[in-house]
Structure 1
Amino acid sequence: MTRRRSPLAFAAILLAGVLDAASMAPLNILQDKAFGVLLLGDGADKDFKDAIGAVARKLTARVPLEFAAGPVDVHSMQKGLDRLKAARVKKVVVIPLMTTSNSERMDEIRFVLGIRENPSPEFFSAARSRPGYALVRRVETKLPVVLAPALDDHPLVVEILASRALSLSKRPQDEALVLVGLAPVAKAAAGEYRRTLSALAERVRAKGGFKAAACAVLQPDAPLQAERERAQEDLRKLVRELSRTQRALVVPHVLAGDAASRPILRALSGVFMRYNKKGLLPDERIIRWVEESAHKGAALPDMRLFKDAGRPLVSTRQALPGAPKSRLKEILP
């Protein structure tokens, strides 16, 4: 009878692996365990799992690394922190594998880590409000904690998006790039995300040699249907207008998988354009981003300001069956 391996067994296998030293510069913390990494992400499709598995295979033997799955799963985050403490790290660098640092989800992460006093109001009112949480509490740890930025407009993101666009291209000098993202709910965060996306589109245009570039955002989580429909119509008008004089290449600014792209594809149904379904993941350059984020975060001081661990923030919802659990054994190969 075949025995099922536990998540710890998978981690042990990864630690025992021999890594190609030429694939990236080594982390110089293997002996003293100056810091560990807690990688956060929310995804269940194959692209996302492949990306997390690739990060684990490359970095676990170089630095203690844990993964917390789910849309801010406090239980999974706590388990990851506890494992890093058991590994005797001196600091934890939390790296959110997310497209933007400005969102209600990132504010919730800041609250859970003790960096922010309260989560944003959108946490309670977002249309995607999820079951399974009656209380939101902070994690408990005595270790210094640093929260790294999300992917945002990192140069490696520009490279990945340019690769996605060029895979659709025949003559970049005659084509227009349209970068489409999914905006946060909060107006301020959505505005900041749009500005970031606009800057990304221009940088991708320059790198790929495209004739023109534009960006658009959808808001599938907006509380009002009119807001969602207006964003969809704006996207359709933009692509149709560009298609009159040049070929329009649409590239999604999403992490991974068809699921994240569905709102974009629905909005563009019947519109003539070329579309790349592939998100930012999987891509070897993401591993470089994680390593760079870890190095930078390790040099920063403890960001935790609120250490009232365990103090609950009461929600109006009742706990329901099916609350998300750690998916480490599903992610790691």
Structure 2
Amino acid sequence: MVHFFVTSFTQMGLLLVLICWTSSSTGATFSLEEEFRQLKENYIQIKEDVKSLEAKDSQLKSLESKVIQLESTVTELKAKVQQQDSLLTSILREKNERTVATDTDSSLTSSNQNNQSAVAINGLPSSCDDLKMMGHIWNGIYFVMGTAKIESVYCDFTKLPNDAGFQKWIGYADVKSVPVYFYVQKFDYFYTVGTPIPFELARMNIGNAMDLPSGIFTAPRPGTYFFSFTGLTNLPDSSSNPYNYAQFEVKLILNGQSIGTGYLEEGNTINNQNDQVTIHSTLNLKSGDRVWVVIAAMATGAFLFDSDYHCTHFSGFLLDEDIVASL
């Protein structure tokens, strides 16, 4: 548009020059100086008009850009409004169905009875349906109470409880009410059969479930525990034995009952010969169950050896808590 005006004014200027020149040649009354001055003034005015038009054109482009931005913002707001309308429609639809179709409520209650043992515990939610009734409206991953463990599920609250995809099971959540793990060591000899092996040094005793002087671990929470014992034995000369061998046996004890055995047998041993005896176990324990290690049997003259090197040690930790029993 600006280019059109510039071209038109330029042509007009040339036309005026031609007319004035023709008039001069035919005896017009204006002198050449006056005509030139007039043409110069006209040219200056034309340039000012062009600049004014260019400024207006720039303002129009700026306004067009702002209009485009506003249109984009309006589009985004419309999308958000539609999303909220959809959520509100879903909530109202569910409310109407719950009010009118009481038999649907009965069906849902019956379908959830398989998990009522978990729901009844302190009123904890056991499903996305429970969370929805508690007022949750945002889609996402939630923790719910399973039959024995905490479980994670994805809830899509834009759908109804009977709709496919309303709840998606993800997996189990590792939830512990208290941390429990220990690692203890000896630095002295021990040779008493049938007595819990005591320990002198605790590298770690989180939860204070391991009593070092007695050597007894007491489970503070129900769940699955792992235990590991390694001892350095000192064996005697086996030549005096009719079968020329030396043995060493330890047992893992749960509430006074043997759970597992670690056994070592060496032939043709010499005096003060060392070897290791080990035992590992994974146990399901109730709160208050007690676990320890004893020397069950050993060759005459054998004993459990230790020093500043701490070659005999016992460790354990809570793998998975039975959180339902803990509540």
TM-score (structure 1 length as normaliser): 0.23
Higher relative contact order (CA 8 A, sep 6+): 1
If you compute each CA radius of gyration, which structure gives the higher value, 1 or 2?
2
Structure with more of its chain in strand, by fraction: 2
Of Structure 1 and Structure 2, which has the larger fraction of its residues in helix? 1
